Amino acid sequence: GNSVTQMEGPVTLSEEAFLTINCTYTATGYPSLFWYVQYPGEGLQLLLKATKADDKGSNKGFEATYRKETTSFHLEKGSVQVSDSAVYFCALSDEAGAQKLVFGQGTRLTINP
Amino acid sequence: EAQVTQNPRYLITVTGKKLTVTCSQNMNHEYMSWYRQDPGLGLRQIYYSMNVEVTDKGDVPEGYKVSRKEKRNFPLILESPSPNQTSLYFCASSFLGTGVNEQFFGPGTRLTVL
């Protein structure tokens, strides 16, 4: 079945550092890919998405490119802020039921001032 | 304000005592879903509903029931909770249509079963 694997956390960085959170997937067909963010005590919010190969999703300074050849969707940000501290989830849509999301295990990110 | 609400936010109960977690959305979404979040496992889908009176199992449905009598509400029922159902639960909703639509998540319900 479809699956998503994220880099193990937790990840701790200093403010203004460069961020990469790796995400690879296994899927049949052509899923859509997502990054969701969960701030402390809150539900998940969609951060960005890409629906086909080579698409780049971007939002709030974060970017991720849908790489079909490497089955990856790595999340990057050039200069992180303390307010970016959260748990980040990579996910893909299950084509069998287009709204169903298959999530990675989540990566906790802490940014120190 | 467009939102998904869940109640209660926190619940501690004992094995075997039936409970219901409510979920309501005010966006007229057709699709609603329940997930559980466990450390190291991410979120896993429990049940989903494509519309009123249409529900189906997700990946981990054992021990749970749902109903969809109204479009806005999608309660999760644990008839006889067990300690392995201790988890953080999220309700989500979205429109159905062409392509994949953004899912909106509730704030979560932290359940502890003793």
CA atoms within 13 Å, Cβ hemisphere of A6: 29
Q: What is the pLDDT of residue B54?
A: 92
| Residues of chain A neighbouring B101 (CB-CB closer than 8 A) | 99
CB contact under 8 A, A100 and B90: no
Angle at the Cα of A26 from the Cα atoms of A51 and A48, rounded to 5 degrees: 30
pLDDT in tens, A45-77: 999 999 889 999 999 999 999 999 999 999 999
Question: How many helices (DSSP H) and strands (DSSP E) are in chain A?
Answer: 0, 12
Are the beta carbons of A52 and A67 closer than 8 angstroms? no
For an interface test with A, give the residue of B7, B43, B47, B109 to mutate (most A CBs within 10 A): B43
Mean pLDDT over each residue of chain A, to the nearest integer: 92
Structure tokens at A17: 């550092």
Q: What is the pLDDT of residue B40?
A: 86
Supply the DSSP symbol for B73: B
* Residue A69 C-alpha from the chain's centroid: 18
Structure confidence at residue A93 as a pLDDT band (50, 70, 90): confident
Q: What is the pLDDT of residue B70?
A: 97
Residue of A nearest to B50 (CA): A99
Q: What is the pLDDT of residue B96?
A: 83
pLDDT truncated to tens, each residue of chain B (114 aa)? 889 999 999 999 999 999 999 999 999 999 999 999 998 888 999 999 999 999 999 999 999 999 999 999 999 999 999 999 999 999 999 988 766 678 899 999 999 999
Of A93, A104, A105, the CB nearest to B100: A93
Q: What is the pLDDT of residue A95?
A: 65
Residue of A nearest to B59 (CA): A102
Are the beta carbons of B58 and B47 closer than 8 angstroms? yes
CA dihedral B82, A87, B107, A25 (to 10 degrees): -70
CB contact under 8 A, A99 and B41: no
Residue B4, chain A, CB below 8 Å: the answer is: yes
Determine the Cα–Cα distance for residues B42 and B23; give it in Å rounded to an integer. Answer: 20
Residue type, A75: L
Element spanning B96, H or E: none
Residue of B nearest to A93 (CA): B100
| Residues of chain B neighbouring A42 (CB-CB closer than 8 A) | 107-108
